[in-house]
Chain A
Amino acid sequence: MKLRVNGKSAAVDVPTDTPLLWVLREELGLTGTKFGCGKALCGACTVLVDGKARRACVTATGDVADHDITTVEGLADGDVLHAVQQAWLEENVPQCGYCQSGQILSAVALLARRPAPTDDDVDAVMSASLCRCGTYPRIRRAIVRAAELASRRGGAP
């Protein structure tokens, strides 16, 4: 099976129903995508498939072959962080950090659809991701900051 992850092509030899989460982590060594619940309840495994947020723990790898998959490792451009990552740093968002790859990718998908999201937009999208440390107030601020950063950088986040 051929996968396209972070702009690169990779061949994996796994049954098509293998969860994408474990293929990313074990076959491709991309451990930034985390396992939290295995039932699409917590959002720690969120990745982008063709720009849309998907829970990798319940996504069959066969279903996303030949689609564009983005993980947290694929966001930065060399040393230049993605606007969302930069905003996360500036708001000191992460505590334990375990949920943040998923949170960041959910925010990237949100901002791609709504470059200036309302509070309701943030609630609707970000409520899929659970944070046991309680970083929500900072995530909310960081999304606003990322939107500003992205518009200053002159492009979609």
Chain B
Amino acid sequence: MSAGLSRRALLRGALAGGALSVGVALAGCGGSRARIVRRADETGELAPNAFVTVMPSGVVALAVHKAEIGQGVATAYATLVAEELEVEPGDIDFHFADSLPEFRTMTVEDVPLFAIQATGGSTSTMEAYLPLRRAAAAAREMLVAAAAAAWAVSPDTCVARAGRVHHPASERSFGYGELTRSAARQPVPHEPAVKRRDQFRVIGKHGARVDGRAKVTGAAIYGIDVTVPDMVCAYPIHGPTFGARPRQVRADAARRSPGVIDVLAMPWGVAVVADKYWQALRAARLVEIDWHDGATRGLDTATLLRAARAHDGSGAPARDDGDAPRALRHADGVTLDAVYEAPYLAHAPLEPQNCVAVVRGRSVELWAPCQSPTALQESVGEALGIGREHVLVHTTFAGGGFGRRLLGDYAVQAATVAREVGRPVKLIWSRESDMTQGYYRPAAVTFVRAALDPRGRTRALSFHTLSQPITVDSAETLRGGQPSWLPAFLRRSSSRATMALAASNTAPDMFACEGARDTPYQIPNLRVAYTPIDTGLPVASWRSVGHSINGFVIESALDELAHAANQDPYAFRRAHLRAGSRERRVLDAVAKLAGWGRPPPAGHAWGIARHTAFGSEAAEIAEVTVTDGRVRVTRVWCAIECGVVVNPDIVRAQLEGGILFGLSAALDQEITVKDGVVQETNFDRVPSLRMHESPRIEVAIIDSDADPTGVGEPGVPPIAPAVANAVFALTGKRLRTLPLQRAYDLAVRS
């Protein structure tokens, strides 16, 4: 597979791009000498780059240019900066960076000029690991140089420690705040020295989250909490089908309701605008709307999935090692011939979509819990017919994200309503809108056929998946990556070209086959193929994206083959992984952690699964029991190798969270569409795991010297297959369809 423009490069190009961008800023383009000196003269602040500022009070301020969606990025970034500036992470004064050009650090390899500000692909720590430490080290070296100059000693004889520069020989010291003005006059170091791993003081050790206190006191400001002067509130009513426009709106009674300012028919629905949101909610009950049919009228997901199951084709190959079809034809017998199915899924972040928009003439200011300020700039800029450089986005704390907030649809709604009413608007979706008008994890039907050789190894495996490609909707999230001096039509065609290039380079669909195309299992005849389905249903990245489906398929299939070969599922997987590989190491670690081989408690069984994703390797063992027909997961063991760990407790939290997020979906969740209408409208129909069903989870982090890789998503893919494999071990029922509880109920009945 070409490494050119895979999803890896697409979202992980940040690795190279981030370093470059911050490097440029350090070298002066992002903060020329004169500007640094002028800022220090005017404010007393030392700001050698866009990220790190030393205040005259001595406090270190940090611009976090990623969304804090719970993954702990603010803490990780504060820790990286604290390490090099010799302060405590908890003392760093962080804020979320506005949508300025210097924060567009996510780039795509081989696509010149492309750069966006976005949070996704589990890239935030890997992107910033070196650049942010350099940004902080530059400030430290300037402070040290300024102190050394004041004392007329060599900088080598000075040390930075606990927010001060010391000269141990003469027992003199300056606080950082006393040095900012003179430090600003020092040259900005091009390659400031960063610590080696054995010199780390807080990286890998520090525990407490820097946003913890704000989040336990109610002080953290999420998008939904933002208020601006003269603001009014909007409650959006969306049509039953996707893209439905209002045909007729009867709103006389609603308009007379107290506090109501207007009821607006918009291209995307109806906005009830009032002084207060509770007034808009009251009035919304009085609005009567006839809707045009949206694009999805007639769509039925059950019919769609039945049709996919009946599909007779071979798909376009994404990987073709050896000759799998021939090997399967000539095998003594096909050991496995199975169809796996995964449903559409909603992200359902707990904070519903919302945005505050202020439109002033031809400029717009937005406050939103968003994962891609660039996408908001571009989509709002286009909707209002203004350049995206006239759209300023303030990112707030976000109540979950999971990929949903990479889109900018809700911001367009807020901005267009604000323009219509001529006042600042806060627009808040209902939970029902969030569930029924989302962008979903696509459903997939996957055919797997495999044969064993006489030694009980997999001789051939053919994987053919049918699903809706998310590249089209992803293009929305990547829009705005081109420079604003390109005319809008060129930018649009350019981002389409970017996606086309990406798709062609990794054809077939890079997301649909990820985790299967790049499986590390050693299988001499391996075919991975894809057939796209077109439905018109909006789809998008959902925590771990294609891996969330393909992890289930591959790890279920391997388990079926292990049982067919009469081998232990752990040993069988191990035999298919390279000796000395990271995959084997992590698989061994989880087996050791759980004590694989010892008998599970009576009435319980274990299932094992592993998966490589987002640069990291994760393996999980689930302990399952069935009580009164309910599949219950009682324990989960997880091992991960994700490079150098910045904050081990947050890595553990992300794995726990990924496991529980994945388990909610694996057991119970699905989005179904009937005649174009999503049937699941709130948390009663999309159940999420609750405390009483939350398993005990143990996480082991494998020590590594490699640069950090992803942790937000890699915990998700192994959990569904680990549970399905455990259910098989317990009951002999092989569940090939998600969600597993529904599949189990069907298996019991039949």
Residues of chain A touching chain B, judged by Cβ–Cβ distance below 8 Å, are 14-15, 18-19, 22-23, 25-27, 30-39, 41-42, 44, 71-73, 75-76, 81, 85, 88-89, 92-101, 104, 122-124, 126-140
CA distance in complex: A11, B401 (Å): 37
B402 at the interface (CB under 8 A from A): yes
Across the interface, do B211 and A97 meet the contact criterion of CB distance under 8 Å?
Answer: yes
B706 cross-chain contacts in A, Cβ below 8 A: none
Residues of B close to A92: CB separation below 8 A:
207-209, 212, 649-650, 653
Residue picked from A42, A92, A93, A128, most chain B C-beta under 10 Å: A92
Contact A37 B682 (CB under 8 A): yes
CA A131 – CA B399 in complex, angstroms?
Answer: 10
Q: A22 and B277 in contact (CB under 8 A), knowing A94-B209, A98-B399, A127-B690?
A: yes
Query: A14 CA to B682 CA in the complex, in Å?
Result: 27
* Residue B691 lies at the interface, judged by CB distance under 8 Å to chain A: yes
What residues on A are CB-neighbors of B360 within 8 Å? none
Cross-chain pair count, CB within 8 angstroms: 183
Asked whether A72 lies within 8 Å of B207 as measured between CB atoms, the reply is no
* A32-B219, A96-B398, A96-B399 known; A38 vs B430 contact (CB < 8 Å): yes
C-alpha gap A136/B653 in the complex (Å): 10
Residues of B within 8 A of A138 (CB): 653, 656
Q: Is B602 an interface residue (CB 8 A)?
A: no
> Which one, A76, A100, A123, contacts B692 given CB within 8 A?
A123
Instruction: Show 15 residue pairs from A and B whose CB-CB distance is below 8 angstroms, ordered by the A residue.
Output: A26-B277, A35-B428, A42-B431, A89-B208, A94-B70, A94-B211, A94-B212, A96-B69, A96-B70, A96-B399, A96-B401, A98-B349, A133-B400, A135-B653, A139-B691
Chain A contact residues: over half helix, strand or loop, or mixed?
loop
Residues of B in contact with A (beta carbons under 8 Å apart): 68-72, 207-209, 211-222, 224-225, 233, 276-278, 281-282, 348-352, 397-402, 428, 430-431, 649-650, 653-654, 656-661, 682-684, 688-692, 694, 696-697
Q: How far apart are the CA atoms of A27 and B108 in the complex, in Å?
A: 47
In the assembled complex, the Cα of A122 lies from the Cα of B693 at a distance in Å of 12
Of A22, A96, A124, the residue contacting B400 (CB under 8 A) is: A96
Q: Are B400 and A37 in contact (CB under 8 A)?
A: no
Per the bound structure, the CA–CA distance linking A7 and B64 in Å amounts to 37
B691 touches A140 (CB 8 A): yes
In the bound complex, CA of A81 to CA of B213 (Å) = 9
Identify the 10 closest CB pairs spanning chains A and B, nearest first.
A32-B218, A134-B660, A98-B399, A96-B70, A97-B215, A95-B70, A22-B278, A136-B694, A72-B218, A123-B692
* A81 surroundings in chain B (CB, below 8 A): 213, 216-217
Instruction: Write the chain A residue with the least CB distance to B655.
Output: A134
Q: Is the CB of A35 within 8 A of B694?
A: no
Residue of B nearest to A122 (CB): B691
Q: Which residue of chain A has its CB nearest to the CB of B435?
A: A37
**Nearest Cβ in chain B — how far from A21, in angstroms?**
8
Query: Could you tell me if A26 and B399 are in contact, using CB atoms closer than 8 angstroms?
Result: no
Which of B224, B431, B691 contacts A136 (CB under 8 A)? B691
Give me 15 other A-B pairs in contact (C-beta within 8 A), A94-B70, A97-B214 excluded. A22-B278, A36-B350, A36-B351, A41-B682, A88-B216, A92-B207, A94-B209, A96-B349, A98-B349, A99-B350, A130-B688, A133-B400, A134-B656, A138-B656, A140-B694
